[in-house]
Chain A
Amino acid sequence: MLIDLHNIHKTYDNGQPLHVLKGIDLGIGEGEFVSIMGASGSGKSTLLNILGILDNYDEGEYWLDSKLIKNLSEKEAAHYRNQLIGFVFQSFNLINFKTAVENVELPLYYQGVSRKKRNELAMSYLEHFGLADWATHYPNELSGGQKQRVAIARALITRPRILLADEPTGALDSKTSVEVMDLLTELNRTEKVTIIVVTHESGVANCTDKIIHIKDGIIGETTLNEQHQSSIFGTNTIMK
């Protein structure tokens, strides 16, 4: 398994303790395309933050690519994030004063790749996503879909072991949402990228091969969804 979670507990303590994750056991294999679904407050974002080494957990074990991710220093955490994980966020989180290509090459900067090489690689990714003409544009000159594609390019440029997408279509209209989900699907099929999507939209979850439901801090049912028939709103559509 690429990702192994054993009995993960997480409690937030803001005045009064809030037990968010109550023993999560989860395994995700290489090349899987998984979605984690749950209502707001179910703990899905917390789980994603732990998976992305953005947050730590109180109890249990998290193995990522056979490395135990526990009590890491900030420096180690940054290193693993850089090497193993690509992030796609709901609000894109591009850096506004950097052009598309500069945003995409930023993870490589932190790997110490030379400017020229970074630029070449970033351009090839943008080209791949049909954004070559937009390379020198700033994020506020791009549409939502373009921004998300830039963000995906940025997430993939370091060739991470997993791509974590937190509500990747949350800020997009339904048409663009479909485009982005198609892009993720294609990446999973052709590049064999392991993708974990966190969403509360069943239409989005329906695009993935496996849907993990999380409720009140524990894993509920896991639906195998090879046929993509799970959405109560029908197939091949994302309701907005």
Chain B
Amino acid sequence: MNDLLTEIWESIRRNKLRTALTGFAVAWGIFMLIVLLGAGNGLMNAFMNQGEHFATNTMAVFGGVTSKPANGYQTGRRINLNDQDVAITQSALFSGNVDKISPELFKGPYTLAFKSRHTSVYLNGCYPSLMEMNKIEMLEGRFINQNDIKQHRKSIVLAASHAIELMNGGEDYASLVGKTVTTDNITWVVVGVYKTDRTAQRVEAFAPITTMQMITNDINYVDRINFSFHGLTTKEENEQFEKTYRAALNRAHKAAPDDESSIWIWNRFTQNMQMGKGTHYIRTALWVLGILTLVGGIVGVSNIMLITVKERTREFGIRKAIGASPREIMKLILAESVSITALFGYIGMFLGMVACEVMKMTVGQSSVEFFGETIRLFVNPTVSLSISFGVTILLVVAGAIAGISPAMKAARIRPIEALNET
């Protein structure tokens, strides 16, 4: 092994410029592969970020407009979800799959005021379980609890960004907990502050839904029902559940049981399944692109190895005359090819990873305003360790492929012909 390495090193040393130029092609190929994969990951991470902020095994249900006449009603009737729908979701009918439920009632914008400071806020009336389903991270205090719901308390959970605004830009929002704030003419007690989700469509303050229904006079009304579920692992199971669930709600609203536009169900689990498929395709496409770039480098290595073999014909002839088997000669060329590819490939990979880190620090941090929503185009555009491992294998395979034809050519050299060349 040591001897083999010495041989390779000698060969590379004798042809520094040529080796460097060849190596550049390989390094460039791997660099592009890594940067492409990194950028792809960044895009996909940004794409998936929305989903990441919810537990994946949840569904959100909205009311829609009927598309089928039923029970004497015509089409086009608006369906509003209400407490009865919440009760149906909670009932024994679906308790085999449904775990936690939280309806939501959105209102706003209100002017949220604290002392002389104020800001604009949307209120979201919900149950305590929303915290888990929407992965709300508490920084201070607590989320809405069961007593808030039961007693119709005027408790409010503020976003950190709002809390900071109300504290006149101060970071000391912890002291806001326990203080009172007002929205228009209603006074709330701040019970907690949660970490602002920068990817959220709008920054909300949470309140008990019962309180919200009371103060907005929307008794019985809910905008959305969220629930988490278990035991639905395949697409078919999910579709079956959605069908029976939709039918139950439709019946309650005197709509056709199979009316799909009267009740909208957003199933984050199946959504994720499809997203996973989509990202799989994108990733495959990026690999294909990267590998095609790499192929250029491999052809370069192969070309150079062929020239090397031609140049060293006499040397291989000598080696054969003194007892080198064809296998030994092949080993020499293959090892050199793999070494060049691997060495420069690693340089390319390293530079690619540096480029990914630079991307992460620059475009990865920036975000654009898009229809009032903050969107980050790149989130963590880097490649994982497993990809680096995959690339390593790829490099060795690539080097071997590049070397195989020159190596076979070298192995076929006949010593007399090689020695007769002068």
Chain A contact residues, CB within 8 Å of chain B: 49, 52, 54-55, 74-75, 78-79, 81-83, 87, 89, 91, 93-98, 106-107, 109-111, 115, 154-155, 158
Contact = CB atoms under 8 A, between A and B. Distances in A.
Contacts of B319: 95, 106, 110
A208 B332 CA distance: 40
Nearest to A94: B318
B99 interface: no
10 nearest interchain CB pairs? A82-B323, A110-B323, A78-B325, A107-B322, A54-B416, A75-B325, A74-B326, A93-B318, A54-B415, A49-B416
Contact of B321 (A83, A87, A111): A87
Contacts of B415: 54
Q: Which of B317, B323, B327, B422 has the most CB of A within 10 A?
A: B323
B323 A78 contact: yes
A54 B324 CA distance: 12
A111 B326 contact: no
Contact of A81 (B315, B323, B328, B422): B323
A96 B311 CA distance: 13
Given A54-B321, A97-B10, 18 more contacts: A52-B321, A54-B415, A54-B416, A75-B325, A78-B323, A79-B325, A81-B321, A81-B323, A87-B321, A89-B419, A93-B314, A96-B315, A98-B10, A107-B323, A110-B322, A111-B323, A115-B2, A115-B3
Contact of A110 (B2, B324, B414, B416): B324
Interface of B, helix, strand, loop or mixed by DSSP = helix
A89 B419 CA distance: 9
A4 to B, nearest CB: 22
A91 B14 CA distance: 22
B325 A106 contact: no
Given A54-B321, A95-B318, A78 B326 contact: yes
Contacts of B317: 93
Contact of A75 (B315, B322, B326): B326
Contacts of A94: 318
B14 A87 contact: no
Interface residues of B, number: 24
B318 A83 contact: no
Given A95-B315, A97-B10, A109-B3, A158 B416 contact: no
Given A89-B419, A93-B419, A154 B322 contact: yes
Contacts of B320: 78, 81
Interface in B371-422: 411, 414-416, 419, 422
A126 B317 CA distance: 23
Nearest to B323: A82
B409 to A, nearest CB: 14
B124 to A, nearest CB: 76
Contacts of A107: 322-323
A79 B324 CA distance: 8
Interface in B299-338: 314-315, 317-328
B194 to A, nearest CB: 68
Nearest to A83: B323
B321 A93 contact: yes
A48 to B, nearest CB: 10
Contacts of B328: 78, 110
A91 B420 CA distance: 10
B323 A79 contact: yes
B324 A78 contact: yes
A106 B319 CA distance: 8
A179 B52 CA distance: 86
Nearest to B416: A54
29 contacts: A49-B416, A52-B321, A54-B414, A55-B416, A74-B411, A75-B326, A78-B326, A81-B320, A82-B322, A82-B323, A82-B324, A83-B323, A89-B419, A93-B317, A93-B318, A93-B419, A95-B315, A96-B315, A97-B10, A106-B319, A106-B322, A109-B3, A110-B319, A110-B322, A110-B324, A110-B328, A115-B3, A154-B322, A155-B322
A87 B318 CA distance: 10
B408 to A, nearest CB: 12
Given A78-B326, A81-B321, A97-B10, A91 B422 contact: yes
A110 B419 contact: no
Interface string B1-22: 0110000001000100000000
Contacts of B14: 97
A138 to B, nearest CB: 11
Nearest to B2: A115
Contacts of B327: 75
Interface in B1-60: 2-3, 10, 14
A114 B319 CA distance: 18
A94 B419 CA distance: 11
A81 B322 contact: yes
A94 B315 CA distance: 8
A87 B322 contact: yes
Contacts of A111: 323
A98 B3 CA distance: 12
Q: Which of B317, B320, B321, B419 has the most CB of A within 10 A?
A: B321
A138 B127 CA distance: 85
B81 to A, nearest CB: 81
A137 B318 CA distance: 19
Contacts of B414: 54
B3 A110 contact: no
A109 B321 CA distance: 13
Interface string B80-110: 0000000000000000000000000000000
A38 B300 CA distance: 48
Contact of B323 (A89, A91, A158): A158
Contacts of A158: 323
Contacts of A74: 325-326, 411
B308 to A, nearest CB: 13
A225 B324 CA distance: 36
A232 to B, nearest CB: 30
A56 B422 CA distance: 22
